[in-house]
Structures are given as structure tokens and as C-alpha cells.
């Protein structure tokens, strides 16, 4: 069969490779001038540092199958993400851990003491938290919330934490030990040669043809047996029912000699600082040595029509619009929506790859049985 994949990021590459190995003819198109989507990495001409062009990506997973898959195409170097934050004139460790708590309150508590202390600060009047703010106030109290969560969240999402669901904060645990590894998964690392080199190898198959700087038009589908769409869900329908909410990022690049901030990621929790964080890219590849360094100040804002969408943002007032697009997608034949944008969900890289592998398998199975490939293979948006 002739298969068209729109988007040369992780979803398109993994699905394309899987189906190519099964004997299908694969065409992948992408509107940008490079592969890899927002995972794209490249060498900085001035410093020689490997830069995560669209912001840092640290691979972390408990899925051994996915870990084995990416290691087929790249050598992953060990990397632990240890984030710092500047707040109220001090530098603290994130996520909030025993060191953060003791430093913030000027104490020397043991784990059991800190657990009881933080519990005493929580708002017991909040029974079932519905918003990000209620979740924070219930479990860490107002002081830690104000210092580490409120300002950063307002900048990142462009709205009050009272408008965001509690589920967002559930991804940010409080630890009552000195473990400052931001992630807790069994497998963590970064490709030695960057993500773009890994995706190049995934796409390196005789039955895969990749064309860049090429936009999708609906009449293209007529030349293919099936289309996999990893672009914005609303974009597939020409934004006919209005635009869904996305956040985008702006980066302010600057260079320095030697080492600028001593860590890969420095968050800025104070609302008075306009950027959310500074990332220093040489620290994402500690196995390399560079005399100069390149950093990005990162600014988050609402995504405009000509911007690159990064994060779907599930505002309550957009749920009706989302439902309309989902119903239209389900009524389509010959197209499957995949990835973070295509399914309008926040997905980490490992989940994106797992879903791409499962989607390709589902396509092969439905084809074998003569059944119809669904618009969404995983959970619906």
C-alpha cells in the first residue's frame, strides 16, 4: 500500500519505519526544512554545542520496549535532569525535595519531620482539589506554592492557576528525601549525537521517501491508501470551527565564555522575571567539552496562527470546539490522527513512540483483517 505521513517527527518516523519494514511504500512530508519536529537538534556554529533547537528534550521511560527501540538507532548517554530554580533571591533544587524544604524554612528536618511539617501547612478545607491552585494549597501550603509554583505556572500557561486542572500539578511530586533527579523512570538519557541523527537512522529505509518544506493539501490524500496526520487536529480541518488552544515558545539566544549558570536548566519562579527559564545546552551533553556556551532564555505565550504549537492547553471554554473536531475526525475515512498535536494531548517522547508503534501494528492488523483503520487508535482527546 501507499502510505502518506504528514510530519517527520517521532510519530511519523516510527510509524513510517514500522510500515516500511512490513513492505509498504512510505512518503513522509514536513513543512519545515528539517526532520525531527520539536525534537530537532543541531550543532551551534559559534560554540560547537549540540543545541535542542525547540527546547530541551530528556528521554525518560519505564517502557523497556521503547528504550530498546530507540537504542537500535542511537547510542544513549546517561543523563539525569537536575533542575534548579531562582526564587525570592535564592537558588533552590527542584522538584521540591527535603533539601528545598530545609533550605526554604531554615531547618534541618529529617524525612518524617518534614512530611509532618508540610502536612501541617496544607489547607484542610479543600476536600477534592479541582484546580492547580487548590491542589498546591492542599498539599504544600501557600508559601511553597507562591515561591515555586504560582509565578512559573502563570508564565508557562498564560493564565491563573485557578483556571488549570489539578491533574497538571500531580505530575510534580514533593519528595521527602534529597533525591533531586527530576524524573524517576528506570531508563534516562540523551542520544550522543542528538535526536535528529537518531531520527535520520529511523527514516533510513529504502521504502521511505522524505520530502521537506512541503505542506499537506487535502487532494494529496487521493494518491494514497491511507494518511497518518501528526499536525494540529484543528489544522487538518482548516480551523473551520475555530482554533484550539496551544502554547508556543520564544527563545532568546545568547552566548558566554566557559560556563554561564552551572546547570542545564534554571527556572525562574518569580512573576517579575518575564522568562520561565534559561537552558544552557552544553550541560545536556556533559560528555563533550566546549570553551564557549550557548543559552536560551525561554518565553511562553499564546500560539498565534503563524507560530509553532508546542503544548495543547485544555481550557474549559474550548471543550465544545474540541468535541466538534473529534467527531469530524471520527467520521473521516482513510486518515488516522497521531502524536501530541494530532490527538490534542500532552505526550512525553516515550509515550509518543509507544503509541506510534501500537498505531502501526493496529494498521497492519486491520489491513490483514480487511477492517477499517480508526481515526484514533489510543484514548480519544
Establish whether 317 is a catalytic residue: no
Active-site choice (33, 171, 317, 368): 171
Strands 311-312 and 292-302: unpaired
Active-site choice (298, 310, 350, 355): 298
CB 296 within 8 Å of CB 41: no
Active-site choice (17, 247, 340, 354): 247
Active-site choice (79, 260, 277, 350): 277
The rounded distance, in Å, linking the Cα atoms of 44 and 53 is 9
Distance between the two ends of the chain, CA-based, in angstroms? 28
Percent helix, percent strand, percent coil in the chain, to nearest 5: 35, 20, 40
How buried is residue 214: exposed, middle or buried, by Cβ count under 10 Å (0-12/13-18/19+)? middle
Establish whether 175 is a catalytic residue: yes
Establish whether 277 is a catalytic residue: yes
Distances, alpha carbon 238 to alpha carbons 11, 125, 233, in Å: 21, 46, 9
Active-site choice (209, 348, 358, 361): 348
CB 158 within 8 Å of CB 315: no
Establish whether 247 is a catalytic residue: yes
Helices marked H in 225-338 — which ranges?
Answer: 233-236, 319-331
Coil, strand or helix: which one is 94?
A: strand
Active-site choice (113, 275, 346, 358): 346
Distances, alpha carbon 277 to alpha carbons 89, 148, 152, 261, in Å: 15, 12, 9, 11
Active-site choice (44, 79, 145, 175): 175
Establish whether 253 is a catalytic residue: no
Q: Which residues are catalytic?
A: 171, 175, 247, 277, 298, 346, 348
Amino acid at each position: 500500500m501507499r502510505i502518506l505521513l504528514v510530519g517527520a517527527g517521532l510519530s511519523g518516523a516510527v510509524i513510517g519505519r514500522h510500515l516500511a519494514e512490513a513492505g509498504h511504500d512510505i512518503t513522509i512530508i514536513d513543512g519545515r526544512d528539517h526532520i525531527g519536529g520539536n525534537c530537532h537538534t543541531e550543532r551551534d556554529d559559534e560554540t560547537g554545542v549540540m543545541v535542542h533547537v525547540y527546547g530541551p528534550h530528556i528521554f525518560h521511560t519505564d517502557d523497556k520496549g521503547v528504550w530498546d527501540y530507540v537504542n537500535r538507532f542511537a547510542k544513549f548517554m546517561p543523563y539525569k535532569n537536575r533542575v534548579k530554580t531562582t526564587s525570592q533571591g535564592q537558588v533552590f533544587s527542584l522538584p521540591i525535595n527535603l533539601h528545598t524544604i530545609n533550605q526554604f524554612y531554615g531547618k534541618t528536618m529529617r524525612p518524617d519531620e518534614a512530611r509532618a511539617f508540610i502536612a501541617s501547612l496544607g489547607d484542610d478545607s479543600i476536600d477534592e482539589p479541582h484546580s492547580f491552585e487548590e491542589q498546591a494549597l492542599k498539599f504544600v501550603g501557600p508559601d511553597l506554592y507562591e515561591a515555586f509554583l504560582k509565578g512559573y505556572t502563570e508564565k508557562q500557561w498564560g493564565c491563573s492557576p485557578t483556571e488549570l486542572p489539578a491533574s497538571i500539578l500531580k505530575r510534580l511530586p514533593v519528595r521527602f528525601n534529597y533525591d533531586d533527579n527530576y524524573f524517576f523512570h528506570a531508563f534516562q538519557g540523551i542520544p550522543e549525537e542528538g535526536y535528529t541523527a537518531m531520527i535520520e537512522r529511523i527514516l533510513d529505509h529504502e521504502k521511505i521517501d522524505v520530502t521537506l518544506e512541503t505542506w499537506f493539501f487535502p487532494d494529496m490524500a487521493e494518491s494514497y491508501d491511507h494518511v497518518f496526520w501528526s499536525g494540529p487536529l484543528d489544522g487538518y480541518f482548516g480551523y473551520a470551527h475555530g482554533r484550539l488552544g496551544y502554547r508556543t515558545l520564544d527563545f532568546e539566544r545568547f552566548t558566554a565564555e566557559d560556563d554561564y549558570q552551572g546547570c542545564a536548566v534554571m527556572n525562574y519562579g518569580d512573576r517579575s522575571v518575564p522568562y520561565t527559564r534559561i537552558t544552557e545546552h552544553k550541560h545536556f551533553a556533559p560528555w563533550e567539552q566546549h570553551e564557549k556556551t550557548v543559552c536560551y532564555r525561554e518565553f511562553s505565550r499564546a500560539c498565534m496562527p503563524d507560530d509553532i504549537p508546542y503544548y495543547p492547553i485544555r481550557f474549559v471554554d474550548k471543550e465544545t470546539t474540541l468535541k466538534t473536531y473529534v467527531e469530524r475526525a471520527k467520521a473521516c475515512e482513510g486518515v488516522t490522527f497521531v502524536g501530541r498535536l494530532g490527538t490534542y494531548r500532552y505526550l512525553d517522547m516515550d509515550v509518543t513512540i509507544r503509541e506510534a508503534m501500537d498505531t502501526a501494528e493496529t494498521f497492519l492488523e486491520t489491513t490483514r483483517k480487511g477492517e477499517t483503520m480508526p481515526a484514533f487508535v489510543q484514548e480519544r482527546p
